[in-house]
Structure 1
Amino acid sequence: MVTVPLMSPEIEPIGVMQIINKRSAQFDDYDVKLIETIAAQIAVAIKTAHLQQQARLAAIMRFIGNISHDVKNMITPASIGAQTLEKIATSCYRDFDKCLTEHLSQDEAEGRE
């Protein structure tokens, strides 16, 4: 059995590769060197795949951020409009209530109901 580390290009361990047995004889130095070479290539492939995955995730996050920004830009004017309408409606109801109260008071003063 031969076990070799999978080392990233930055010399960080990312795993191990283990070869259990050889069909004939024992593993010799040539076998070990070959396995180490293959392990180095596998480590580079794993690191590259990881970097590609990170780049895709970053692109997705930027896309989501842009969509979020666009949606917020669309909602903000509607929200401000709704707040303005609420203020106008409140003012109208207050004015209507004041006019109605004055009118009723005037009717009562004149003896009408």
Structure 2
Amino acid sequence: MSNTTELDGAPAFRLASALVVFFSGAAITTEQADPVTNCGDTTTQSAMDQCAAAKQSAADQALNKQYKSLAASLDAGGKQRLRDAEKAWITFRDKECLSRLGPRSDGGSIWPMS
């Protein structure tokens, strides 16, 4: 006795499954498909979150590129001072955000946005 149903492997079942997947994917709006290029047109929290995350990622990559370029031009002492300054800046950034926005637990749906 087989553990599969009669429809498993049937061409009609496979076709129907493929059509459901295809048409559900075709129903995705432009905003959902590429929220980054339509950031000004976002209407859902999910799209705003995706847009903010993409922008944060791009800014992080640019910052890392500049950091590596600067670090490459420094001697060992300069690199250590740069690392120390970066750590101090991160601490400042986090405390500044906390002072302006309050703890994350006090926020609403906007908090997922980076």
State the TM-score, normalized to the length of structure 2. Answer: 0.29
Q: Larger relative contact order (C-alpha < 8 A, sep ≥ 6)?
A: 2
Radius of gyration: which is bigger?
Answer: 1
The answer to which structure has the higher strand fraction is 1
